Amino acid sequence: MERIQRVRACAAGAVSALALFVGAGVVNGAVLGADWNAWVKTLGRLSHAPSNAVGMVLWLVVSLVLGAAGAWLYAAIRPRFETRLGAALVAAAWLWATGFLAPAIGQIALGAIPFHIVVVDCAGGAVNAALAMLAGAATYRA
């Protein structure tokens, strides 16, 4: 059994985290930015969101956690797949299911965030997870 290369896995996690952070910025800023702003405006005084700076730091932490988890999962399952691409896509699917899909279902169940925002964010998360795991896999290989 092949051992996980810890330094490579950490580097892959950092690259994956960066890809997730940038991808989330594109989805939530460029694609959904107007929708998020309109929704927050309708909340008025009920909104308890932190400042933009604090929010960015929190999303960076979320990206680091997800990126590290995805990279370690990729490193653990890679020897069991014929191709690195296959392992990266399986890791991406698990990352998306646990980091994007499950929370999205919870948000829909709560009715806390408009449905279309949750669906678009979740779909964007699938693309982000795939790109992040492919970038992490390329880094782990190097």
| d(C-alpha 24, C-alpha 123), whole Å | 11
What pLDDT is attached to residue 79? 92
Q: How confident is the model at residue 1 (pLDDT cuts 50, 70, 90)?
A: low
Convert the pLDDT of each residue in 38-56 to its tens digit: 998 998 888 888 888 999 9
| d(C-alpha 87, C-alpha 110), whole Å | 34
For residue 71, the Cα-to-chain-centroid distance in whole angstroms is 12
pTM of the model: 0.92
Convert the pLDDT of each residue in 96-142 to its tens digit: 999 999 999 999 999 989 999 999 999 999 999 999 999 999 999 86
| d(C-alpha 65, C-alpha 68), whole Å | 5
